[in-house]
Amino acid sequence: MPRGVAPRQPARTGRQDKVRIARPRTAPQPQPKQSGGRGARAEAAAPSSRKASVSKTPAAAKASKPGKGFNPIAPERVNEILKRLNALYPDATCALTHASAWELLVATILSAQSTDVNVNRVTPGLFRKYPTVQAFAALTPEQLEPDVRSTGFFRNKSKSIVGAAKKLVAEFGGEVPNDMGTLLSLPGVARKTANVVLGTWFKKAEGVVVDTHVHRISRRLELTTHDEPQKIEQDLIKIIPRDHWILFSHQVIWHGRKLCFARKPKCVDCALEDICHAGDKTWSTVDMHKNAR
Ligand code: SF4
């Protein structure tokens, strides 16, 4: 994550500007809902001053009201989510180290079922050893396997990388194409990888990257009810403005790394808390929807 874009942390003093929702002195304070489990109970007991620091605008208030007829993909709610993600992660970008479209393609293939940190440990040495697409194309998958072993699924990944390099050299002059159809014709390249390369390197918004974080958080925020990445992407494309497709994925991926973990998300510190009804929240001031997970 780039420096200076960490989500704002509530002050220890509890004195944060624009944090508290104005209520009459006599009004009852919101009771955090518990999602069960010891950790959740401990977080539920956290003082309200720890609540994430986003002021409540009229749009936010409307977006956070579930009630009857609640529409999770209402434009005002989606806009509020985008607005808060922009405030949290204004400069979010791809965490995979790369210096060319080819390096990004290789890094993205290697990142399947692995972490970006792990991939970034492997790729500098890998690209020093094989500095060009042609150098990869001259290999057999078996020769590449030891170099990518630590990223997991190394046999399939080696096959994909060498296969993609051979095809690029044979048919595209060693250049990574900048259109979805051609990228998808490369071995081991599906929509997620193609979207990463198109969005991050070529700045082309052809779709939305759906990785494990985007999958999980889109479901928690009820932006989709689907489980298959392709269907999730189609849902997101319909409700997110096209000029936000690239940034949205990066922001959600960062949110998944920083707070919205698969297990025990840090809802108490989350700026989306009052508009998130996820069924597996660890701390909540709003209704939780059991299927939103
Ligand atoms: S589940 Fe928790 S951490 Fe994730 S978006 Fe909702 S409130 Fe934030």
**What count of other Cβ atoms lies within 10 Å of the Cβ of residue 278?**
27
Q: Which residue type sits at 169?
A: V
Angle in degrees, CA 49, 51, 57, rounded to 5 = 110
Calculate how far, in angstroms, residue 11's C-alpha sits from the geometric centre of ligand 1: 19
Tell which one of 77, 217, 276 to mutate to probe ligand 1, the residue whose CB is within 8 A of the most ligand atoms. 276
Q: Has residue 286 got a pLDDT over 90?
A: yes
Distance CA 87, CA 28 (A): 30
Atom of ligand 1 nearest to the CA of 272: 8
Q: How far is the CA of 46 from the centre of ligand 1 (A)?
A: 16
Interval 82-129: pLDDT, tens: 999 999 999 999 999 999 999 999 999 999 999 999 999 999 999 999
The residue whose CB lies within 8 Å of the most ligand 1 atoms, and thus the one to mutate among 85, 252, 273, is 273
Residue 27 has pLDDT above 80, yes or no: no
Q: Stretch 256-277: mean pLDDT, rounded?
A: 97
Instruction: Give the per-residue pLDDT at 76.
Output: 97
CB atoms under 10 Å from CB of 115, counted, come to: 13
Which protein residue has the closest C-alpha to ligand 1 atom 4?
Answer: 260
Q: Whose CA is nearest to atom 1 of ligand 1?
A: 281
Integer Cα distance of 47 and 92 in angstroms: 30
pLDDT for the residue 60? 53
Closest residue by Cα to residue 175 from 105, 125, 235, 222: 105
| pLDDT (0 to 100) of residue 69 | 83
Quote the ligand 1 centre to 223 CA distance (angstroms). 13
Residue 70: CB atoms within 10 Å: 15
Tens digit of each residue's pLDDT (9 = 90 or more) over 37-88:
433 333 333 334 344 444 445 555 555 555 568 999 999 999 999 999 999 9
Q: Which residues are catalytic?
A: 192, 211
User: What letter represents residue 192's amino acid?
Assistant: K
> Which whole number is the average pLDDT over 3-13?
41
Computed from CA positions of residues 106, 111, 116, 118, in that sequence, does the dihedral angle turn out positive or negative?
Answer: negative
- Residue 97 Cα to ligand 1 midpoint, Å, equals 28
Q: Please write the tens of the pLDDT for every residue from 144-176.
A: 999 999 999 999 999 999 999 999 999 999 999
- Residue 291, judged by CB atoms within 10 A of its CB (0-12, 13-18, 19+), counts as exposed
Atom 2 (ligand 1) nearest CA: 267
Model confidence at 12, pLDDT cuts 50, 70, 90, reads very low
Considering the chain, what is the average pLDDT of its residues? 85
Task: Give me ligand 1 centre to Cα 275, in Å.
Answer: 9
Q: How far is CA 89 from CA 73, 84, 148, 159, in A?
A: 21, 9, 31, 35
Q: Is the per-residue pLDDT at 205 higher than 50?
A: yes
Residue 290, classed as helix, strand or coil, is coil
DSSP code string of 105-172: HHHHHHTTTS-HHHHHHHHHHHHHHS-SHHHHHTS-HHHHHHHHGGGS-HHHHHHHHHHHHHHHHHHS
Q: What is the structure's pLDDT at 65?
A: 53
| CA–CA distance, 62 with 149 (Å, rounded to integer) | 50
The whole-number pLDDT of residue 59 equals 52
Per residue, the 3-state secondary structure of 48-66, as one string, reads: HHHCCCCCCCHHHHHHCCC
Beta-carbon contacts of 217 under 8 Å, excluding residues fewer than 6 positions away, are 252, 255, 256, 260
Contact 32, 285 (CB under 8 A): yes
- Within 6 A (CB) of ligand 1 lie 220, 259-260, 265-267, 270, 272-273, 276, 278, 281
Of 33, 255, 260, best ligand 1 pocket probe by most atoms within 8 Å of the beta carbon:
260
Inter-residue contact 279 to 33 (CB < 8 Å): no
Structure letter (DSSP) for residue 151 = G
**Nearest-atom index, ligand 1, CA of 266:** 3
Cβ distance 200 to 105 under 8 Å?
no
Give 183-198 pLDDT, tens digit per residue.
999 999 999 999 999 9
Three-state DSSP state, 89? coil
Confidence check: pLDDT of 225 > 70: yes
